[in-house]
Amino acid sequence: VSLADFLAGDHSPCEWNQHVAGWLLPQRHPSFFLVRYEALHENTAGVLKEVLKFAGIKCTDAKINAAVEASRFERMRAAEERGGVAGRVGEQYERFVRRGRVASWQEELGYRELCIIEQKYGDIMRKMGYNTRS
């Protein structure tokens, strides 16, 4: 099955947009804390502090900064190179740490896949503040 066929198909009990809307619209569930990749990219330590506060976990700035350093893209990519994903060393198609850039999915997918995503999920993506076209 191609990626486009997978995206166009119905393979789950509920569509991604319905799942997202159920948690986030019209208001967020009180026990849910949304973390956007874009926010992590912009202010990793600040977002981590917010997550820990939400979870009721006290942590020093030094530990937070150490965690941020340990999770930098270059370190995560190097760890993946050494250990792979689920133990599959060197298998490029098994990449989890892809590019470390915001919105790189729009560069990685083909036109057909982008059109399917826009058609199926564009409305909820826009409601959540995402541009569906780069």
pLDDT at res. 58: 95
Quick one: DSSP state of residue 96? S
Q: Is this model's pTM higher than 0.85 or not?
A: no
pLDDT at res. 48: 95
Residues of the chain with pLDDT under 70: 1, 11-13, 26, 28, 81-107, 132-134
Q: Is 47:39 a contact under the CB 8 Å cutoff?
A: yes
pLDDT at res. 57: 96
Q: Is 107:134 a contact under the CB 8 Å cutoff?
A: yes
* Spatial distance between the Cα atoms of 33 and 24, rounded to a whole number of angstroms: 10
pLDDT at res. 64: 96
pLDDT at res. 63: 96
